[in-house]
Structure formats: C-alpha cells, structure tokens
Amino acid sequence: MSHRERCAAAVLSELIEPGQLELYALVVEHGAAATLDRLLAAAGSVQLSRTAIAKLGRRDAYARGAELIDQAQRCGARLLTPQDAQWPQQLTDLASLSCDDCAAAPPIALWLRGELPLRDVCQRSVSIVGARAATSYGMHATTELAAGLARRGWTVISGAAYGVDGAAHRGALAAEGATVAVLACGVDRAYPAGHARLLQRISETGLVISEWPPASMPLRHRFLIRNRVIAALGRGVVVTEAARRSGSRVTARRAQELGRPVMALPGPVTSAMSVGPHELIRDWQATLVTSAADVIAEVGSLGDVFAEQAESGHADACNDPDSQHARLLKAFPARQAASVEQLAASCRMTPRQVRGILPDLIMRRLIVNHPDGFARTTPS
Amino acid sequence: MSHRERCAAAVLSELIEPGQLELYALVVEHGAAATLDRLLAAAGSVQLSRTAIAKLGRRDAYARGAELIDQAQRCGARLLTPQDAQWPQQLTDLASLSCDDCAAAPPIALWLRGELPLRDVCQRSVSIVGARAATSYGMHATTELAAGLARRGWTVISGAAYGVDGAAHRGALAAEGATVAVLACGVDRAYPAGHARLLQRISETGLVISEWPPASMPLRHRFLIRNRVIAALGRGVVVTEAARRSGSRVTARRAQELGRPVMALPGPVTSAMSVGPHELIRDWQATLVTSAADVIAEVGSLGDVFAEQAESGHADACNDPDSQHARLLKAFPARQAASVEQLAASCRMTPRQVRGILPDLIMRRLIVNHPDGFARTTPS
C-alpha cells in the first residue's frame, strides 16, 4: 500500500466518524486517497462536516495524515488498514448490517498499541461485555470466565470500561493470555482514568485498538460506534452482567445479526445486574453459559473459520456434498429468507447446529443476514 | 360408581404398585372390579405378586377395600377414582408416556387428605421441584416464586420433601394460596418426619394426595413413580435448584414428554445447586424463569385447557380453521412424527407458540407424544 493511501486512511479516520456505509463503499471502490480527494473537492453526497474542515484548518490533508502516523509512532501506536495482512477479515461482516441511517459499516482503519498481530490474535477470540456497575458476583464470574478462556488459548476482547470489561481483561492477563481492548478514544488516552495502569499492561502483552487516531476524545456517541467492532471482532459475545435495558444488549443484538453466537451468564434472580443476561436467555437471544468450556463449546464448533476463510476460499466443507455445510446450503429456499428454525427443520439439524454453521457461511459470503432471516447471496 | 367398584379400586391401590400400563388398560376397559376378579383368578399376564397375596392374607379382597376406605375416613382421607367428577383429567396424558417397562401409566386411584376439589384446584397449577439439599438462595427464590404464583391464584404442586419442595409449599401457604403435596406414602404419614406440621397445614387449607392407601410406607422406588404424577398434574414444571444429575431432571423430562412447559430458575454459576437448572436451560430443555410472572407467561397461554377439555370436547379452537390450533394440526406430516422446531417452521409459529398449543392437542387426544416427536393420532 502506498504511503499516500496510508496517509489518506489516517486522516480520514480523524476527519470522519467511522461506520458510515457510503464512506466505506467509496473507500472499498476507489481507495482511501481517491475518496479523500473527492471529499476535499466536496463532490458526492458524503461531505466533510464543518467540524472536520475546522479540524484540518489550512493544513494539507495528506500532510496531516503523515503527521498522525508519526504522532502514533511516538506513542508506540501504528495504523492498520484493510490492505494489511493482519487486518481481521471478520470486520467486513459489518457490511451486511449497515444501512444509511445506522453507523454500522466496517472500519476503514484501526490504530493499534501493542506488538501482537491483530488478525492472528483474534482467530480464537471471544468478546465479553457487561455492566460498568457490576456486582462482586459479576466481577468474580467474569474474571474466572476470562481466565478460563485465556488458559485454553482464547483471546478475550472487551472495551476497557469499569466493571465487567475490566474484570474480563484482568482475568485474561492473570492467566497470561492475550486480551484486546477496543477503545472509543485514542489508544494513547487512559480512559477511564482509573484504568491507566490496566491499559498499559494490556498494550504490553496484548493490544489496545481504536478506530480513532491517538489523542481522540472518548465522546459519548463513539461508544455505540465502537461496540459494533467488539461484536464483530470476536467469534462470539458473552454478556456476564447487565441491567434490564443496557448497551450490552445492543452489542449482543449486533453480534446476533452478524451470525455470531451470543451467550449470557446467569446469576441470582434477586440481582438487578443479572436481569439483562436472564432476559437474553429467556427470550432465546442468548445461550446460557456457566464456564469457559461452555463458551468454547458454543464458538469452537466454528473451527478455525476466521483463519481458513482468507486462504482456502470455498474449496472445503461447502463443496463436500455430505458435509453439514452443504446440507445447510441446500436447505435455503430459492429467493426467500429463512429462520434458523426453518433451516434446522429443512436439513434435519438442531437449531444449535445451524447456528454453529451459519457464521461460517456468512463469512464466506454465501449467506447474508437479512432483517427477516438468512438468505443465499445472489451470485454477481 | 358402585361401592363394589370403589372397594376394588381401593384394594388394587394397595395390592399393586401404580404405573403399570397393562393394569391401567384392564381397569379402563373392564373396570376395577372385573380387573380385580381376573387378578384373583390369576388369569391374564398381570398377576398379583407373592407380597400382594401375602398382604391380602385370607381376607376377602372387596372387604379389604371397604376396610381401607373406612380407615381412610377415620384419618380424614378419601378415595378418588377416574369416575369421580373431581378426577384431574390431565393425568390421563400419562398414557402416552407409558411402555411395558416403565411405570408411567396414569393412576387408577388417588387418596386425598383435605377438603378442596382436586380437579378445580389443579386447573391453574404449577409444579415446583428441586433439590432436598437446597441452598439458602434456592429456598428464598423458591418461596418467593411459590408465593407469587399463589398470590396470582395459581396452585403450587410439590412433593413435600425437605429443601425446595418444602419452600414451595410454605411460600404458597404464606400467601394464603392453595398447595397440593403429592406423597410417595400414605397421606396419613408424616414423611419426612420434620414436615409433620407442614403436611398438617397443607391438609387443612390445601390437599395431601397419594396413589398409595393410608399407612403405606415411603419405599424408595415409590418416589420415582410418584414423580410422574407431579409432572402430569401441573400445567408446567419449574426446577428451582438441582444438582447435575438429579431426580428433578427426570421429572422435568417427564413433563416435557407430556408437552408441559418445563422451566428452570437460574442462580449463581458458582453454586452446585444451580447446575441442574443451568444445564436444562443451556440444553434447551427448559425456559429460563425468574419470577411468578415469567412462569404464568409460559403456562398461562394454555388458557383454561384443563377445565375446558372435559366439557367442550372438540367444539372449539381446533374447528376454527383460522385458529393457531387448526394451523398447527394441519402442519403435522401424514404418518410421521415431527419435532417442535419442524412444526414451528411448517406453520410459521415460534417454537414457543407450538409448545404452548401442543399440550392442549395432546389432552384432546388429537396428538400423541412419541419418542421421536409428536404425531397425529390415528382415528379409531
């Protein structure tokens, strides 16, 4: 990738809030530099906001991009773009979610602090999310769960917030496992302030990542935008504690829309912080898990899909007519979307088996996740 | 019903352990007296065991039956047979479960202590089962659940054991609701001994019932036989606390086979007594419930089925072609059994909706519950 492209990607990550489908489409089609040129010429419907223009001031946009990359380097951070080998392909799944109104498009750039290769680290990974106001039970159970996953070689992804997020990272660190903190601000910022040392530790043995360049503020709206990355990056999402209506439930829904297994940890029915997980389980939105082994049983059936997909393409399970993949593919109605239950009935599998295979098919671009169910992609 | 028939039913309940399909079939076809006569003549394949013959001694069987009815009366108990108006029809569902090897046939008689009309009391009822070695959390949660059900006019059915059973009865009593204790011994016995006062209280405001005549011992094998009555009598079963492999899980499976909603109450993942409920929920064998409202939402959708079925026969929902009942009936494959998921897919309902309607259809004898799924009954 040319330096010009990298500079363009860097400055775009500063000028425009991530998640916009139109911007993502432009970058995919024309590249970051051509997209930036269009924006600067105020052509097309994606326009730079006044704030963005003010931010750029009189500086040359490419020079600003180069400056950001330099600044990042000085604080031990680096830029990762979809052209890099270590870009996690699973983030592309977000393209199936996004609409014009919601900020759900895949990232166009990530800033990383830490040495680990992001894609490799996320090949066997689980996102753990939950309440900031976690109970001591929730903190204990989350720490144990994260440590158990880490001991089994699974990376723990979370958002570095107080409560459940912190317990998830700490559990993984305690077990000397890899952990990835996805921030809603620059990777050089200590947010929340009380987690400065924790973030430092994560960057030393794991990764602190963000869509926003170093020094960016943790603005309120950024957390929701950030959450989609947590939902897409892991092979599955576990909600350990959450109140009745919480951000964690939104992340869980995103993960579900992406075909990722959603799991929830039960707790005492007397605890307000277990209401969120219990509702998810009761409403069949999440599978109940009580241990790392349970979690791996849910997500492990995917095999090393994230790893395989980039290399092997379709020359695999889908082409073996006796495989579950092939049976499931055949079960799809011609031009209609189908629910997991309908698919399970058609191909004589359990809904759980179907849920285990769907993410794979989605990641292979054979299936898309519509609001009214799953459907085969139309060969273009 | 003739006195002779009642005496025969009474003595049969003493001479033969309940649950045997062949005995049940004989009583249904020929009546209790004719069945007893056959047994005494040692005709047919159902034979009186040596123990039973020894028990009878040289007495006339009918005289012994009359004696049992008298003895029962003296301890405030009475005999109820399937010919009585207050016989709970839902017990007949057990006929669909039973095989030659398992003691799962419907009861042929019940002994009752307490004034309440059994059938009416069980029209809106939920069975609560669980561990004897319940934790304080489990005792608290069970008591609250039972009290909540009782306050909403639902009868709580349980087995009067220590732990969860006791908490269930006590919760219902505390809320001044009806509660039914199903014993594995005579209704005049205080078993367990520490529940003597509890059983007394239940008999004063609710019902203590048993398939065995007064003075019968709580023999070990009788608890498993008894459990099927707990599973069949309520509209649904809730497991509040249970160890990994427990009797409660067997009761839950029985209830599920009967088409009754099975529910489980979550708890801390650190508690061994919540492993049973968590496994049921995780394996999609039970719906997670956290409150009486949750339970009623699960079982309440059945409407007053138990009440309606005896009177209205089929002149109802099943005959309305637009009803969910009719849609579900149409969804059954011709000569095959189907799973809940398959049925749900065929008639475009959720599995939960299907599970809500199936018990009704089973009770109307339109559907039977095979080991490999649900199937239409063949009109005879």
User: In whole angstroms, what is the distance from residue B208 CA to residue B202 CA?
Assistant: 7
| Nearest alpha-carbon partner for A178 in A237, A232, A119, A227 | A119
How many residues are given for chain A?
A: 380
Predicted model pTM: 0.76
How many residues are given for chain B?
A: 380
Contact state of A344 with B346 under an 8 Å Cβ cutoff: no
Identify any residues that bridge with B126 across adjacent strands, giving them in sequence order: B156
Amino acid in the structure at residue A46: V
User: In whole angstroms, what is the distance from residue B176 CA to residue B157 CA?
Assistant: 14
Contact state of B137 with A270 under an 8 Å Cβ cutoff: yes
For the stretch A199-224, pLDDT in tens is: 999 999 999 999 999 999 999 999 99
Higher per-residue pLDDT: B271 or A21:
B271
Strands A373-376 vs A367-370: parallel, antiparallel or unpaired? antiparallel
Contacts of B294 in chain A (CB under 8 A): 282
Burial status of residue A302 (CB atoms within 10 A of its CB: 0-12, 13-18, 19 or more): buried
Amino acid in the structure at residue B192: P
The residues, any chain, with a CB within 8 Å of residue B311's CB and separated by 6 or more, are none
Q: DSSP characters for B329-343?
A: HHTS-SSS-B-HHHH
Contacts of A284 in chain B (CB under 8 A): 352
Predicted complex: ipTM over 0.85: no
Q: DSSP characters for A295-363?
A: HHHHHGGGTTHHHHHHHHTTSSGGGSTTSHHHHHHHTS-SSS-B-HHHHHHHHT--HHHHHHHHHHHHH
Among the ranges given (A63-77, A124-138, B86-100, B121-135), the one the predictor scored with the smallest mean pLDDT: B86-100
User: In whole angstroms, what is the distance from residue B265 CA to residue B292 CA?
Assistant: 11
Give CA B78 to chain center in angstroms. Answer: 19
Residue of A135, A262, A269 for testing the chain B interface, max B β-carbons within 10 Å: A269
Chain B touched by A244 (CB under 8 Å): no
Sheet holding A155-158, edge to edge: A77-80, A110-113, A207-210, A179-183, A155-158, A125-129, A237-239, A262-264, A287-288
Chain A touched by B281 (CB under 8 Å): yes
Tokens for A348, please give them. 């004589």
For the stretch A149-163, pLDDT in tens is: 999 999 999 999 999
Among the ranges given (A301-305, B195-199, B327-331), the one the predictor scored with the smallest mean pLDDT: A301-305
Contact state of A281 with B290 under an 8 Å Cβ cutoff: no
Chain A touched by B287 (CB under 8 Å): yes
Identify any residues that bridge with B78 across adjacent strands, giving them in sequence order: B112
Contact state of B267 with A268 under an 8 Å Cβ cutoff: yes
Residue of B144, B240, B273, B288 for testing the chain A interface, max A β-carbons within 10 Å: B288
- The answer to whether A12 and A32 have CB atoms below 8 angstroms apart is yes
pLDDT at position A380 is 40
What backbone phi and psi angles, to 5 degrees, belong to B168?
Answer: -65, -50
Cβ contacts below 8 Å, chain A against chain B, sum to 80
What pLDDT band is residue B43 in, cutting at 50, 70 and 90? Answer: low
Q: State chain B's mean pLDDT as an integer.
A: 88
Chain A touched by B272 (CB under 8 Å): no
Taking the CA of residue A298 and the nearest CA in chain B, the distance in Å comes to: 10
For the stretch A265-279, pLDDT in tens is: 999 999 999 999 999
Amino acid in the structure at residue B263: M
How many CB atoms within 10 Å of residue B184?
Answer: 25
Statement: residue A197 has pLDDT above 50: yes
pLDDT, average across residues A84-88: 95
What pLDDT band is residue A324 in, cutting at 50, 70 and 90? Answer: confident
pLDDT at position A307 is 45
For the stretch B150-206, pLDDT in tens is: 999 999 999 999 999 999 999 999 999 999 999 999 999 999 999 999 999 999 999
* % of chain B with per-residue pLDDT over 70: 87
Which residue segments constitute the domains of chain A, with CATH numbers given? 118-302 (3.40.50.450), 313-376 (1.10.10.10)
Instruction: Check residue B111 and report its DSSP letter.
Output: E
Statement: residue A118 has pLDDT above 70: yes
User: In whole angstroms, what is the distance from residue A46 CA to residue A29 CA?
Assistant: 14
What backbone phi and psi angles, to 5 degrees, belong to B302?
Answer: -70, -10
Sign of dihedral through CA atoms A297, A303, A307, A313? negative
Contacts of B346 in chain A (CB under 8 A): 345
Contacts of B287 in chain A (CB under 8 A): 282
